[in-house]
Structure 1
Amino acid sequence: MGQSTNVATGTARLKEFTDSVWDSYQRMPMQIERYLLLVISPAVLFFLLLTFASVVLPLPLLVRLPIFFLGTLIVATAVLYPRLLVEQQRRGLENQIHLLITHMTVLSTTNIDRVEVFRALAREQEYGELATEMNRIVQLVDTWNQSLDDACKRRAREVPSKPMADFLDRLAYSLNAGQGIDDFLLGEQEAMIQSYITVYEGALENIEVMKDLYLSMILSMTFALINAIVLPILTGMDATMTVLAVIVMFVFVQLGFYIVMRTMSPYDPVWYLQEEYRTKPVRQVDISLYGAVGLSLLLILALALGTLGLTPVGRAMRGVLIGVPIPILMSAPLTPLAIPGILARRQENSIKGRDSEFPGFIRALGSSESAKQATTSAVLQTLRKKDFGTLSPDVDRLYTRLKMRIEPTRAWFYFTAESGSYLIQKFSEMYLVGRQMGGSPKQLGELISRNMNEVLQLRRQRQQATVTLIGVLYGITASAAFAFFIGLEVVEILVDISAQMDLTGTNVGTIIHAGVYDVPTIEYLLTLIILFNALLSSLMIRVVDGGHKANSYLHFVVLAWIGSVLAVVTSHLAGALISV
């Protein structure tokens, strides 16, 4: 009974997935027949060619499998690409829906027409897919003379996001019933926040599932790579080709998981980077980044010259490099990249501190403006004396600029740019626009404060998920480096024993095929896969964390050094133990 239930459940899920794929083909801007001809047909042909090559060519099994999997991956990508596009559109609608509805609520409480609310949101390019959706609603009203509630109802049937479709449906019903858009949106805040929390927490739960699956897959690939290192000594296959084939499969697996992690992670950036006004901390990170990349390139060039023995510098370097393990040589030039990562991490902690203080500041500002019926600069003269932690210097500079008669929009622009926070930028802009259009300061301050506090609570959950992921990735790097090089060390010792005892022509020589190994080349390949693992792992941490790109450089350097040091230590300890 239980087995039949599981089969029925699996069948239902498969049908649901198939229906979603077919629906995505219906939504494509390209005709289905044209897509089948131009994309799927070449992918299937390439798959057949690779399959034929893997069967006909005299290659070992560990080389044939990656070739077959590559063809399968190409076909699967071609078939599922429309589904991925729809998923990307859905994420674009759901990632910032809380900001859009909060912004819509702020605009609706002012003295502008309700269609103008949608028109203003359509001009906000930062909202991406949401701005496009708002523009479609405006076009239905302006071009096709539909009422706003009919336009919302029509778009609710078309959007791929259920939270967005439900919101537009409820909005259309309320507008059709004669309810004001401001009353509806103010009452919608709790439902909107709960919907956003559900989507955000669902994404974090998916990341946890993918983390466990990633751990299992990488351990399996590590086991396969160890087999690729050790088995050729018994089978006589080309060890370098076998190791390279498994490494290619390893790379594809990691790339796949990185893409999935990037797709699943909620869009919630920490930084606000303004091209028009580069603050001192941002310039410091940029300068250190350019300097670190330049220094790393110089070190790589010196290492290459020393390895090849070219030029007087290379010959001088060659004497220094002799005896240094390959993993250390390949990780050392990357070390300067940690400097911009450290600077970005320090600044990011300051941004998070300002984020935590902003809800209290904006609520106090709105309440004081309503109570005193005064301008923002007059209220800030008192508020600037209160302790807002790391936000206090920014509040003080905002007061100074307003007092110097700088235009309020410009003064708030500098305030958000210097804070460096994406959330502060968005919510400050909402408050300023709401005040300029006649909205109630107290209502605006409380609305923004409440919604931002909810986002900050979700960010704390995301931070916990990131810390767990960092621990898993660091552990995988250490264990993989240990396993790779202990397998290589065992093989190297067997090769040395075979060479010393001259087992060629003996019965043992037919069992142990020491001649198939090029140990230095395999060591280079294993070191490269450690560096690639460090690169992909650091990028995964960055997309899950939502921080500055320089954070990935710091993790990349640390992971590379962990793998390299463990590789060297493992080789020395294994050699010492076996020799004893």
Structure 2
Amino acid sequence: MSETSADPGLDAQRQQLREFASSVLDAYERMPMDNRKYGLTVLAPSALCFILGIVGAIALPAPILVRIPVFLLGMLILFAGLLYPRLLVEDQRRGLENQLHLVITHLTVLSTTNIDRVAVFRQLGREEEYGELAVEMRRITELVDTWNQSLDDALQRRSRAVPSRELGDFLDRLAYSLNAGQSLDDFLLGEQRTMIEKYVTVYESALGNLDVMKDLYLSMILSMTFAIINAIVLPILTGTDATLTIATVIVLFVFVQLGFYFVIRTMSPYDPLWYQQDEYRTKMDRQIDIALYGAVALSLTFIGILALGTAGWTPIGEAVRNVMFDLPVPVLIAAPITPLAVPGLVARHHENDIKERDEEYTGFIRALGASESAKQSTTRAVLESLREKDFGVLSREIDRLYVRLNMRVAPDRSWFFFTAEASSYLIQKFSEMYLVGRQMGGDPKQLGELISKNMNEVLKLRRQRDQATVTLIGVLYGITASASFAFFIGLEVVEILATFSSKLNLAQFEFGQIIYAGVYNIPLIEYLLSLIILFNGVLSALMIRMVDGGHTANSYLHFVVLVWIGCGAAVLTSSLAGGLISV
């Protein structure tokens, strides 16, 4: 009975393996590089590294904790070379699906105007911010313009070639509807509900995958923490080189964290919060830049002072050197980076304002469209009365938009400054859609309602993402503290054993030496463990930034907090263990 019940699961696993192998082979066919050239330049060196890893794991005169990471590193390089084409296609698929909801909304807005349906795709092909989707729109128009194919034939042809199933299904449905005689705007307006539901499903699925990866990451980091503790403690019993063993396991720990960082980067939904461009530096951008430059300069100054203290140069260096002897190594590593928290705090303050602007924008754009349609007047005339209403933190930008339009600044430039000062990615994209739709003759009420409805759905998903981010932050902060405690408690155990062995005269016993305290360089190992805390802070802060979609400067705050949590746990552990020794 159990054998028959296990067969369906085994068949499903075999089917999944076959599908994965088929997807890898298909990725090699889609890869822009010739397969023979890829084999010679990438696969052959990867296989050589794998063989060297096997030889090193067998022949190296090193402990098992050193030889295993050597083999795993060679295997990692081989798998990376074999699966890189698959990752390349997956990255292209993500590029097509990340902003698909925005492109379909943009298509819908343009389709309700008075332009030709091929011109709709041509207009989207000029939007470089859409990345792979803009390239795909240009390919469709190229088939129409250069190869004289009809639009429905071009859509159907590209639906079979794109690596994204979501985009392929959409293009195929659109091609069938156009061939059947349905107008482009009718199809796209009817597609809105389906598009939103699919986008919600994909977004929530990505958040669910991140939740699974969070649990897996927790398990792997705990396992690697256990491995590092073994690397710290075992050499005192075996007599192997402790520094080499610990350094090798630390390298493996770093590779595990890097792997999880790239996986989380791949799985995170692409939904940036900030709209950033180089043409116009807003007040927020200038404040963050000033805080960042000042913090980096201050950190470099602290590092320079510590370098003088380490070398003992100049009277300042000698004075600092005396202070450094009284401070733990983790504190000396965490202190110079503390100023980097300032730009993070500034960016976090502005991010809260951006989120409030996003919430207010849906009501503003709906009211603007309805008022323009009812009064049959220009945007400037409607804003004259609309700006008197309270739209929270967005009121200032609305008032400045009216002033610019009233001063006869071109609508394109007026809306550009409006979106730049709002600094919101969603406000920028939807405002551009509204402006283009109005300029091409679209109904303002229909445009406002369409944009408001779609943006509300995105904001609901962002609230779920914020909850997932808070959970991830709690996990990363907690695991940083626990791992740091485990690292340094292992080091303190070694120091305690070394202290006891120095007090005992083991030569009088016949069983010989059982504790090898001489294989440890305690200060160097303490530096290595502190560097783990530093590296963990960098990658964990980048993971948080990938998930929350915020400003890069926001990760500096998490970096500083994570490093201080790890270093604080290390200092506390050393102090408690030192107290036990003295007792």
**TM-score, normalising length: structure 1:** 0.99
Does the Cα contact within 8 Å between 1:326 and 1:524 map onto a contact in 2?
A: yes
Shift of 1:53: 2.0
Shift of 1:508: 6.5
**For the residues of structure 1 that align with 2:158 and 2:450, how far apart are their CA atoms?**
27
1:251-266 alignment runs, 5 A limit: 251-266=254-269
Does the Cα contact within 8 Å between 1:94 and 1:199 map onto a contact in 2?
A: no
Deviations 1:495-551 (A, max 9, x none): 122223353574575111111111111111101001111111000000011000011
Deviations 1:260-295 (A, max 9, x none): 111111111000112111011111101111111111
Select 1:296's aligned residue among 288, 295, 299. 299
Q: Report what 1:389 is aligned to.
A: 392
**For the residues of structure 2 that align with 1:507 and 1:483, how far apart are their CA atoms?**
34
Q: Report what 1:421 is aligned to.
A: 424
Shift of 1:31: 2.0
Shift of 1:24: 0.6
**For the residues of structure 1 that align with 2:195 and 2:403, how far apart are their CA atoms?**
37
Q: Report what 1:560 is aligned to.
A: 563
Please provide the CA RMSD for this pair: 1.1
Identity %: 69
Q: Report what 1:111 is aligned to.
A: 114
Residues 1:464 and 2:476 are matched in the alignment = no
1:261-280 alignment runs, 5 A limit: 261-280=264-283
Residues 1:87 and 2:87 are matched in the alignment = no
Q: Which moved more, 1:236-245 or 1:503-512?
A: 503-512
Q: Report what 1:72 is aligned to.
A: 75
**For the residues of structure 2 that align with 1:23 and 1:505, how far apart are their CA atoms?**
71
Q: 1:86/1:497 Cα in 2 relative to 1: closer, same or farther (>3 Å)?
A: same
Partner SS for 2:513:
helix
Q: Report what 1:548 is aligned to.
A: 551
Shift of 1:45: 1.1
Q: Report what 1:168 is aligned to.
A: 171
**For the residues of structure 1 that align with 2:25 and 2:181, how far apart are their CA atoms?**
38
Deviations 1:429-486 (A, max 9, x none): 0000000111000000000000000011111111111000000000100100110111
Q: 1:312/1:505 Cα in 2 relative to 1: closer, same or farther (>3 Å)?
A: farther
Q: Report what 1:219 is aligned to.
A: 222
**For the residues of structure 2 that align with 1:480 and 1:74, how far apart are their CA atoms?**
27
**For the residues of structure 2 that align with 1:339 and 1:509, how far apart are their CA atoms?**
57
Residues 1:205 and 2:195 are matched in the alignment = no
Residues 1:3 and 2:26 are matched in the alignment = no
Select 1:233's aligned residue among 230, 236, 243. 236
Q: Report what 2:162 is aligned to.
A: 159
Shift of 1:83: 0.3
1:479-558 alignment runs, 5 A limit: 479-503=482-506, 506-507=509-510, 510-558=513-561
Residues 1:12 and 2:15 are matched in the alignment = yes
Q: Which moved more, 1:311-320 or 1:400-409?
A: 311-320
Shift of 1:578: 4.4
**For the residues of structure 2 that align with 1:223 and 1:418, how far apart are their CA atoms?**
49
Residues 1:477 and 2:480 are matched in the alignment = yes
Deviations 1:315-341 (A, max 9, x none): 121112121000001100000000000
1:352-391 alignment runs, 5 A limit: 352-391=355-394
Shift of 1:314: 1.2
Shift of 1:34: 2.1
**For the residues of structure 2 that align with 1:230 and 1:509, how far apart are their CA atoms?**
20
**For the residues of structure 2 that align with 1:312 and 1:119, how far apart are their CA atoms?**
68
Does the Cα contact within 8 Å between 2:347 and 2:553 map onto a contact in 1?
A: yes
Deviations 1:144-198 (A, max 9, x none): 1110000000100011111101100010001101111011111111111111111
**For the residues of structure 2 that align with 1:561 and 1:174, how far apart are their CA atoms?**
59
Select 2:45's aligned residue among 26, 38, 42. 42
Q: Report what 2:137 is aligned to.
A: 134
**For the residues of structure 2 that align with 1:379 and 1:48, how far apart are their CA atoms?**
72
**For the residues of structure 2 that align with 1:234 and 1:209, how far apart are their CA atoms?**
38
**For the residues of structure 2 that align with 1:542 and 1:504, how far apart are their CA atoms?**
57
**For the residues of structure 1 that align with 2:29 and 2:493, how far apart are their CA atoms?**
56
Does the Cα contact within 8 Å between 2:344 and 2:556 map onto a contact in 1?
A: yes
Q: Partner letter of residue 232 of structure 2?
A: I
**For the residues of structure 1 that align with 2:184 and 2:505, how far apart are their CA atoms?**
89
**For the residues of structure 1 that align with 2:205 and 2:163, how far apart are their CA atoms?**
17
Partner SS for 1:229:
helix
Q: Which moved more, 1:491-500 or 1:362-371?
A: 491-500
Q: Report what 1:450 is aligned to.
A: 453
**For the residues of structure 2 that align with 1:51 and 1:312, how far apart are their CA atoms?**
53
Q: Which moved more, 1:500-509 or 1:64-73?
A: 500-509
**For the residues of structure 1 that align with 2:505 and 2:133, how far apart are their CA atoms?**
72
Partner SS for 1:158:
coil
Q: Report what 1:22 is aligned to.
A: 25
Q: Partner letter of residue 96 of structure 2?
A: L
**For the residues of structure 2 that align with 1:202 and 1:458, how far apart are their CA atoms?**
11
Q: Partner letter of residue 379 of structure 2?
A: T
Q: Partner letter of residue 126 of structure 1?
A: E
Q: Report what 1:147 is aligned to.
A: 150
Does the Cα contact within 8 Å between 1:398 and 1:411 map onto a contact in 2?
A: yes
Residues 1:55 and 2:65 are matched in the alignment = no
**For the residues of structure 2 that align with 1:357 and 1:468, how far apart are their CA atoms?**
26
Q: Partner letter of residue 292 of structure 2?
A: L
Partner SS for 2:321:
helix
Q: Which moved more, 1:191-200 or 1:417-426?
A: 191-200
Partner SS for 2:277:
coil
Does the Cα contact within 8 Å between 2:53 and 2:72 map onto a contact in 1?
A: no
**For the residues of structure 1 that align with 2:193 and 2:582, how far apart are their CA atoms?**
69
**For the residues of structure 2 that align with 1:203 and 1:310, how far apart are their CA atoms?**
54
Does the Cα contact within 8 Å between 1:478 and 1:566 map onto a contact in 2?
A: yes
Partner SS for 1:538:
helix
Q: 1:386/1:508 Cα in 2 relative to 1: closer, same or farther (>3 Å)?
A: farther
Does the Cα contact within 8 Å between 2:152 and 2:174 map onto a contact in 1?
A: yes
Runs of 4+ deviating beyond 4 Å: 504-509
**For the residues of structure 1 that align with 2:226 and 2:193, how far apart are their CA atoms?**
50
1:562-577 alignment runs, 5 A limit: 562-577=565-580
Residues 1:435 and 2:435 are matched in the alignment = no
Does the Cα contact within 8 Å between 2:370 and 2:445 map onto a contact in 1?
A: yes
Gaps spanning 5+ residues in structure 1: where? none
**For the residues of structure 1 that align with 2:146 and 2:405, how far apart are their CA atoms?**
42
Q: Partner letter of residue 337 of structure 1?
A: L
Q: Give the number of equivalent residue pairs.
A: 580
Shift of 1:4: 1.8
Q: Partner letter of residue 556 of structure 1?
A: F
Does the Cα contact within 8 Å between 1:240 and 1:518 map onto a contact in 2?
A: yes
Gaps spanning 5+ residues in structure 2: where? none
Q: Partner letter of residue 242 of structure 1?
A: T
**For the residues of structure 2 that align with 1:504 and 1:104, how far apart are their CA atoms?**
85
Q: Partner letter of residue 246 of structure 2?
A: V
Deviations 1:216-262 (A, max 9, x none): 00000000000100111111111111110110000000000001111
**For the residues of structure 1 that align with 2:414 and 2:349, how far apart are their CA atoms?**
26
Q: Partner letter of residue 199 of structure 1?
A: V
**For the residues of structure 1 that align with 2:276 and 2:507, how far apart are their CA atoms?**
66
